[in-house]
Structure 1
Amino acid sequence: GCNRSSVFLVFWCGLALFQSTTVNGLVYVVTTTLERRFSLPSAQSGAISSTYDFTVLVLIVFVTYLTERIHKPLLLGGGAIVFALGSYVFTLPHFLAPNHSIGAIEGGEVCHVNGTAVKCNEESGGSLSGFYWYFVAGQVLHGIGSCPIYTHGRIYIYENVRAQVVPIYFAILQLLSSLGIAVGFLFGGVLLQMYTDLQTDVSTLEIDPSSPIWIGNWWIGFIIVGTLSLLISIPLAGFPKYIKGTSAIRKANDEFTRPQKGSEFYATRGVSGLVKDFPRAMWNLIKNIPLMCINFGIAAEFFIISCTTVFGPKYMETQFNLQASTAAVMAGAIVVPSSIIGVLLGGWIIKKFNLQYTGQARLCCVALLASLILLVAFLIGCPNVDFAGVTAPYDNGGSELGQDVVLNITDSCNKHCQCIDSFAPVCGSDDVMYYSACHAGCSSFEIVNGTKMYVDCECISATSGSPGLRGIANPGRCSLDDCFRPYIFFGLTLFLVICSSMVLVPSQTMLLGRATHIRHGVGFNDPRVTCPPFLKSSFF
């Protein structure tokens, strides 16, 4: 029948895939877009992702401990429903906020001598930033719904599968969870190529996904994955509390698992007994030195993973001058093969060399040391594009190399233009990037072969061979065609993710052997939730 551990594994891993796609993929891919669309600073966008972590951190210890004897598949199904609700709440700002309008920027895109600056940007930015709390609420619901997946799901597997086979089930879960990150990045990258308003005719906007003011379709992915999570909750909740014929397995597993000597703990039956014994249960885990060493070691690794996952696409955008959608797709292309290879390689090494606890610990140390060395990848970056008033002075042609630049995007050539603050960069004919066409002093534009070109730009040096003429500018950033360093970065990052993923399987089997009685654990069997608050890296 369908009430088999293998069938449960399919639905359980499916939910983990959807969960990882959302909170570890889509949320991070749309970070830059949310900042641009809702006028959010990086501190707030980082706090959005950290809200999920803090929610899990606060709830999971208590939830796992107090609900250890509950109907676990039913709890998983309920968690899937709450998770889907969180995805729907996360998309509410799209439907509640005013439609995104490119026209609000166009009124002040060129220089109008002695004109009046357009002030609507400040007001709309302030009001739009209030939607930040919808994202926070959605992430809180994501955290609540995710709690049972990596705790009660693992315990349910342990209670119904032979202990010798449990690591295989855990490895499959880690594979699907890692794959979810990749799916989120790739899926999100594709969606960002679409405009946020599906009813808008993109051809009338005079911009494309390469434009810095482009707002991609950040919201529809959450609706799709949230609906899939809602659908999978039904079969998950239908599994029995214990799979038929597994009582002997539970007895054998109790004998197979040998917790650290002196850390054995069995809670008193009843809710009052559980609450009363909670401090003792926590102390039992804290004094389990091998368990805590494993947890803190993996927590440090997840500190790095969280940092690079949250701001990885944004990092590639700024360091290598990539589009948001391109950076998201490249991040996914790195994570997909490397995470799968890393998990499989870690499991294969354990089986091939029959590694026991000490051998698995050494494997983790070697893999993490390699990860540390490969972090040199983040010292790689392309040279900065010459940016007038930021990295290069105005009238760049007459400046000396290495000349100090005073940070000021206003100059004598544009101070009379009354430019607005919206960032819509243009690339001048002098290969210098300007904050906007207005800041380049461009007084008008022309459409040449269907492409907009700003002309009569007072701040841009005359092109060679045309003395006395003012320069021109094209919408968008200046390119860095001769920079080959992204390929080195992608190669090193590929091996970095492989080494980081190698520790997932051995760390889980080590925890299984050293943790206090698995069914009386308090959430410490998931290293991602053992990070103390100061390790929530994306917030910092």
Structure 2
Amino acid sequence: MKKMDTSATGSWTLDNKPTSSTVKNSCHPNLKMFLAALSFAYFAKALSGSYMKSTITQLERRFDIPSYLIGIIDGSFEIGNLLVIAFVSYFGAKLHRPKIIAIGCVVMSFGTFLIAMPHFIIGRYKIETSVRQSVNSTNNLSPCPESSPESTRAGDRPSILPSRGCERESGVSMWIYVFLGNVLRGIGETPVQPLGISYIDDYAQSENAALYIGCVQTISVIGPVFGYLLGSLCAKIYVDIGYVDMETVTIAPDDSRWVGAWWLGYLIAGTITLMSAVPFWFLPKSLPMPLDKHDTSCTPEQTRFIKDSPTMEHKFRPEEPANLHQMAKDFLPTLKSLLGNPVYIIYLCVTIVQFNSLIGMVTYKPKYIEQHYGQTASKANFLMGMINIPAVALGMFSGGVIMKRYKLGIMGAAKFAFGTSLLGYFLSLFFLAMGCENSKVAGITVSYTGVQGSSYQEPSLFSDCNSGCLCSRREWDPVCGENGITYASPCLAGCVSATGSGRNTIFNNCRCVALADTQPGNLTAALGQCTSRDGCDRIFPYFLALSVLSSFIISLGGTPGFVLLVRCIKPELKSLALGIHTLATRTLAGIPAPIYFGAIIDTTCLKWGSKMCGGRGACRIYDTSAYRIVYLGLTLGLRTVSFLLCISGFALLKRHVKREEKYALTNGSAELETLRKEENSSVHCEQFIPASDCNPDRETRL
């Protein structure tokens, strides 16, 4: 016979087991360690992912590729996920989840190091230029070489750039290494989210699960803060720092040809990711069940009864032996059961459309700030990291707190997520009104006389003022005239002489400057593009303020929406559902969105650069009005479609909730009737009553 131990306070335990109050108020040390380790892993993967997006323009310029190709590189991360995520989510849930996550972090770090490798094998960065080398050399040639009638009719001049190195660079596309490294990053990141979130939801108290998930998601949003700040720092540093004399570098960070030290950030991010793998090797496969799933004062017989209780259904996950053959046999039926849930399917459709909008917007937002508002890559990344991302982090955390504070159910979480997303959508409409005019570039956005509205055609780069020069229409070596107009090159500005060297070079007697200059002067032009855009500078602070507000409001619904996902499915399908959700959003949003957003942005390019060995390079200047319309229009259009899908989603969810409530009431009544009958028959307590009724303070004969 078991003996009953009574303390002075009246509480007691069976076989010296801890009291309910002791267990309820405690959190297992390994769960705390897992939360810390998972938060660090989320931070590391978010840092490297956001750093990748912060280097978009740097990679475009370094490898001379268009935006759609950058979209393919960015989407390669999701390709890596696609290769393994379904199997990792299903089989990983049955195996040692912490160690699977550790292996993923190691693979992710190797991929990050691989992305940086092209810098060490591609050679030095050669700036696309027309006469700058000649100006700085002992043979100081004129920026405007004389042309013959034949060459003038041809409308182009042979490039003075050396052809040496063309064979090496054309032999293999260095961006392939970046592509493959990002694929490895995607493979390594696969187990972190589905296995990590399901582990927390399995072993955390019911009332704390949403808060824990919110905290982890918040840390994952803090990661991009440091990722964009790292991108801002590296964008200020010249790509070949330490290998070239910076006095000979004649371009500034605001030049469209500037390339920062993009490779340095990947080495730092890879090291941090490798460190994040360490704690997971020391964590156990499973943890003791918390009180709301497993009251430690009850026996194994009671525990078997508890797992059938509808009140614990969303939390309990039975520990099954790892039988690979049986798991493989059950995979298709399990997948069929999951995809047969209409609420889950409509949730997938809504999030896929919203993720298309979100990923496309975030990927090209720093570039949009650069091109539309005339900011440097370093400043655009800094603003993303210090203003936008903290607002998102605060919103994610606040969403988790609101879930806990008001104890929102499935319908409450759905309504809250929809309401915040809709409010953020209406605020985002104001972005369409915050436009800037195009920069004044002679022969591209304005005529040589300064008249705006000139549509770009290649022959329009030539005018009477530069007809006597043997100029190339392919060159982009901008100079800013005293009249505030930018010219594509000193030659196309009609400049006949130059003084100074390096960044201090001044071009004199520029005939084209005289056409639009209303005041007499010496008709000089300085290196670089003109940056005077007073109207745009006044609009930019309002754009930032609205961006912060809309980001915060939209992100408020992030955590409730995520909790909604894990609550609308069966508990044994939780890991697989999270994996399929990640698979679907990565495949149908993460991969295509950057590609078609980039392709549409490419259509607004007004002047393409040229590669050293011929061919089209990266875009040098965009039509800012068209850029704003296609970028914001596509973002808002996709979100409009997602709201239409939500209408049918609410109807399905309402029916699902009513069905679950009816099922719980029916089973609860039957269970209570069984308990009454068994108690009247004097059957042992621990065999039948649920954990909530297994009260040690009740007088019980054993």
Say which one has the larger Rg.
2
Following the alignment from structure 2 to structure 1, what is the Cα–Cα distance between the partners of residues 545 and 308? 44
Whether 1:59 aligns to 2:84 is yes
Following the alignment from structure 2 to structure 1, what is the Cα–Cα distance between the partners of residues 290 and 259? 53
1:351 aligned residue (397, 404, 407): 404
Native 8 Å contact 1:426 1:475 kept in 2: yes
Q: Look up the equivalent residue of 1:171 and give its one-letter code.
A: G
| Residue in structure 1 matched with residue 593 of structure 2 by the alignment | 537
Query: After superposition, where does 1:254-403 map in structure 2 within 5 Å?
Result: 255=309, 256=311, 258=313, 270-379=323-432, 380-396=434-450, 399=451, 402=453
Whether 1:192 aligns to 2:231 is no
2:75 aligned residue (50, 59, 77): 50
Q: Look up the equivalent residue of 1:524 and give its one-letter code.
A: L
Native 8 Å contact 2:484 2:530 kept in 1: no
Name the SS for the 1:454 alignment partner: strand
Deviates more, 1:305-314 or 1:114-123: 114-123
Alpha-carbon offset, residue 437 of structure 1: 2.4
Alpha-carbon offset, residue 248 of structure 1: 8.1
1:388/1:11 Cα in 2 relative to 1: closer, same or farther (>3 Å)? same
Whether 1:15 aligns to 2:41 is yes
Following the alignment from structure 1 to structure 2, what is the Cα–Cα distance between the partners of residues 124 and 394? 38
Task: List runs of 5+ in structure 2 lacking aligned partners.
Answer: 1-26, 136-142, 148-156, 295-302, 597-702
| Residue in structure 2 matched with residue 410 of structure 1 by the alignment | 461
Whether 1:37 aligns to 2:65 is no
Following the alignment from structure 1 to structure 2, what is the Cα–Cα distance between the partners of residues 208 and 39? 18
Whether 1:140 aligns to 2:194 is no
* 1:358-409, Cα deviation, whole Å (9 max, x unpaired): 111100110111122122244122111112222112232xx4x546554545
Alpha-carbon offset, residue 453 of structure 1: 2.2
1:371/1:258 Cα in 2 relative to 1: closer, same or farther (>3 Å)? farther
Following the alignment from structure 1 to structure 2, what is the Cα–Cα distance between the partners of residues 449 and 18? 40
1:16/1:60 Cα in 2 relative to 1: closer, same or farther (>3 Å)? same
| Residue in structure 2 matched with residue 72 of structure 1 by the alignment | 97
2:528 aligned residue (475, 499, 503): 475
Q: Look up the equivalent residue of 1:495 and give its one-letter code.
A: L
Deviates more, 1:109-118 or 1:324-333: 109-118
1:229 aligned residue (266, 273, 280): 273
Whether 1:27 aligns to 2:83 is no
Alpha-carbon offset, residue 120 of structure 1: 4.9
Q: Look up the equivalent residue of 2:498 and give its one-letter code.
A: F
| Residue in structure 1 matched with residue 570 of structure 2 by the alignment | 516
Following the alignment from structure 1 to structure 2, what is the Cα–Cα distance between the partners of residues 485 and 124? 47
Native 8 Å contact 1:393 1:406 kept in 2: no
Following the alignment from structure 1 to structure 2, what is the Cα–Cα distance between the partners of residues 205 and 424? 14
Following the alignment from structure 2 to structure 1, what is the Cα–Cα distance between the partners of residues 581 and 553? 17
Name the SS for the 1:537 alignment partner: helix
Alpha-carbon offset, residue 454 of structure 1: 2.1
Following the alignment from structure 2 to structure 1, what is the Cα–Cα distance between the partners of residues 87 and 212? 25
Whether 1:238 aligns to 2:264 is no
Query: After superposition, where does 1:47-196 map in structure 2 within 5 Å?
Result: 47-102=72-127, 106-107=132-133, 110-114=143-147, 116-118=158-160, 120=162, 123=166, 127=170, 130-196=173-239
Deviates more, 1:67-76 or 1:97-106: 97-106
| Residue in structure 1 matched with residue 30 of structure 2 by the alignment | 4
Alpha-carbon offset, residue 43 of structure 1: 0.9
Native 8 Å contact 1:88 1:222 kept in 2: yes
* 1:90-123, Cα deviation, whole Å (9 max, x unpaired): 0011111011134966337833334642355894
Q: Look up the equivalent residue of 1:478 and give its one-letter code.
A: T
| Residue in structure 1 matched with residue 19 of structure 2 by the alignment | none
1:111/1:173 Cα in 2 relative to 1: closer, same or farther (>3 Å)? farther
Native 8 Å contact 2:443 2:454 kept in 1: no
Give me the CA root mean square deviation. 3.2
* 1:244-297, Cα deviation, whole Å (9 max, x unpaired): 5769857668854546xxxx9999973233223322222212221222233332
Native 8 Å contact 2:214 2:396 kept in 1: yes
Alpha-carbon offset, residue 470 of structure 1: 4.1
Following the alignment from structure 2 to structure 1, what is the Cα–Cα distance between the partners of residues 285 and 162? 58
1:128/1:367 Cα in 2 relative to 1: closer, same or farther (>3 Å)? farther
Q: Look up the equivalent residue of 1:393 and give its one-letter code.
A: S
Q: Look up the equivalent residue of 2:80 and give its one-letter code.
A: T
1:443/1:268 Cα in 2 relative to 1: closer, same or farther (>3 Å)? farther
Alpha-carbon offset, residue 493 of structure 1: 1.2
Deviates more, 1:472-481 or 1:191-200: 472-481
| Residue in structure 1 matched with residue 480 of structure 2 by the alignment | 427
Alpha-carbon offset, residue 124 of structure 1: 7.5
Native 8 Å contact 1:428 1:474 kept in 2: no
Deviates more, 1:496-505 or 1:443-452: 443-452
Alpha-carbon offset, residue 343 of structure 1: 1.3
Native 8 Å contact 1:93 1:131 kept in 2: yes
Deviates more, 1:281-290 or 1:90-99: 281-290
Percent sequence identity is 24
Task: List runs of 5+ in structure 1 lacking aligned partners.
Answer: none
Deviates more, 1:414-423 or 1:482-491: 414-423
Native 8 Å contact 2:108 2:184 kept in 1: yes
1:267/1:21 Cα in 2 relative to 1: closer, same or farther (>3 Å)? same
Native 8 Å contact 1:167 1:509 kept in 2: yes
* 1:134-184, Cα deviation, whole Å (9 max, x unpaired): 111011111011011101111222233223222111111111111112221
2:249 aligned residue (205, 209, 219): 205
State how many pairs are aligned.
Answer: 532
Alpha-carbon offset, residue 216 of structure 1: 0.7
Q: Look up the equivalent residue of 1:203 and give its one-letter code.
A: E
Name the SS for the 2:401 alignment partner: helix
* 1:312-351, Cα deviation, whole Å (9 max, x unpaired): 0111111111111111111222323311221132123223
Following the alignment from structure 2 to structure 1, what is the Cα–Cα distance between the partners of residues 477 and 337? 57
Following the alignment from structure 2 to structure 1, what is the Cα–Cα distance between the partners of residues 276 and 556? 29
1:228/1:409 Cα in 2 relative to 1: closer, same or farther (>3 Å)? farther
1:254/1:20 Cα in 2 relative to 1: closer, same or farther (>3 Å)? farther
Q: Look up the equivalent residue of 2:245 and give its one-letter code.
A: D
- When normalised by structure 1's length, the TM-score is 0.89
Following the alignment from structure 1 to structure 2, what is the Cα–Cα distance between the partners of residues 480 and 375? 24
Q: Look up the equivalent residue of 2:584 and give its one-letter code.
A: T
Deviates more, 1:277-286 or 1:227-236: 277-286
